[in-house]
């Protein structure tokens, strides 16, 4: 017979027959310690052994060594990558980060980097949604979200960025502009964040 302590660890009761191997296995399996994992293959192997709901692992192979949690169906994990930019857009460069995304195990997703244009100049019509690029739909919010990104003063500073539930990222300006030079066109993505799909 076993008992569950306040911290959810399962241990034998005093009247239980002594069986060192079984008793230690029961106690350690119930301890729910954070397990270091160095690859996706190691995580899959652990899952094959039977993972309890709430089990945490630390991914030593990923930037920042995020902690992932098993929810009974899937790992609440870390993901990152570059935004697939449309043909008119590229990283702004000049020391600014590449446009990308990051999703933490908590489900919080964020954009980063700065978007520029591939052309020597760019023109945009007011109140027209331009597709900047896409992110995986699993990273996207459950419903469309809109933000006011940082932009250059030449762009009017009255701009809206839409992160769509399908992963599309659209940009719209309230005041159109014509033939802005490449160096004067930028869209900052830092600080744009949302709760990704469950």
In this predicted model, what pLDDT tens digit does every residue of 114-146 receive, in sequence order?
A: 999 999 999 999 999 999 999 999 999 999 999
pLDDT of residue 62: 86
Query: Which of 6-15, 98-107, 108-117, 168-177 shows the lowest per-residue confidence on average (mean pLDDT)?
Result: 6-15
CA–CA distance, 174 with 157 (Å, rounded to integer): 9
State what percent of residues in the chain have pLDDT above 70. Answer: 93
- Whole-structure pTM value: 0.76
E strand or H helix at 123:
strand 121-124
Q: Where in the chain is the domain with CATH 2.60.40?
A: 79-195
**Mean model confidence pLDDT for the chain:** 89
Each residue of 41-95: pLDDT tens digit?
999 898 888 788 888 899 999 888 888 888 888 888 888 999 999 999 999 987 9
pLDDT of residue 11: 73
In the structure, what pLDDT confidence band is assigned to residue 101 with cuts at 50, 70 and 90?
very high
> In terms of pLDDT, which residue wins out, 33 or 84?
84
CA–CA distance, 155 with 120 (Å, rounded to integer): 15
Q: How far is CA 65 from the centre of its chain?
A: 14
Instruction: Enter the tokens of residue 172.
Output: 């719209």
**Pair 127, 175: CB distance under 8 Å:** no
Count other Cβ atoms within 10 Å, centred on residue 183.
Answer: 14
CATH architecture, domain defined by 79-195: Sandwich (2.60)
CA–CA distance, 191 with 197 (Å, rounded to integer): 19
CA–CA distance, 141 with 196 (Å, rounded to integer): 5
Find all residues with CB under 8 Å of 32, minimum gap 6, and list them.
8, 9, 52, 54, 55, 56
pLDDT score of 30 more than 70: no
């Amino acid at each position: 017979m076993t008992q569950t302590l306040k911290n959810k660890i399962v241990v034998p009761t005093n009247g239980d027959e002594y069986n060192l191997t079984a008793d230690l296995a029961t106690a350690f399996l119930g301890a729910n310690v954070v397990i270091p994992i160095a690859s996706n293959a190691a995580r899959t192997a652990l899952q094959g052994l039977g993972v309890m709901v709430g089990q945490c692992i630390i991914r030593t192979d990923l930037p920042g060594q995020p902690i992932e949690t098993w929810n009974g169906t899937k790992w609440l994990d870390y993901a990152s990558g570059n935004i697939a930019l449309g043909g008119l857009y590229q990283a702004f460069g000049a020391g600014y980060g590449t446009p990308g995304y990051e999703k933490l195990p908590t489900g919080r997703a964020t954009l980063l980097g700065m978007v520029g244009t591939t052309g020597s100049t760019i023109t945009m019509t007011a109140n027209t949604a331009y597709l900047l690029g896409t992110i995986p739909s699993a990273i996207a919010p459950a419903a469309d979200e809109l933000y006011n990104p940082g932009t250059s003063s030449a762009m009017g500073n009255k701009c809206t960025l839409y992160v769509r539930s399908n992963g599309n990222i659209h940009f719209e300006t309230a005041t159109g502009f014509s033939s802005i030079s490449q160096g004067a066109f930028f869209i900052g993505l830092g600080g744009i964040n949302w709760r990704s799909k469950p």
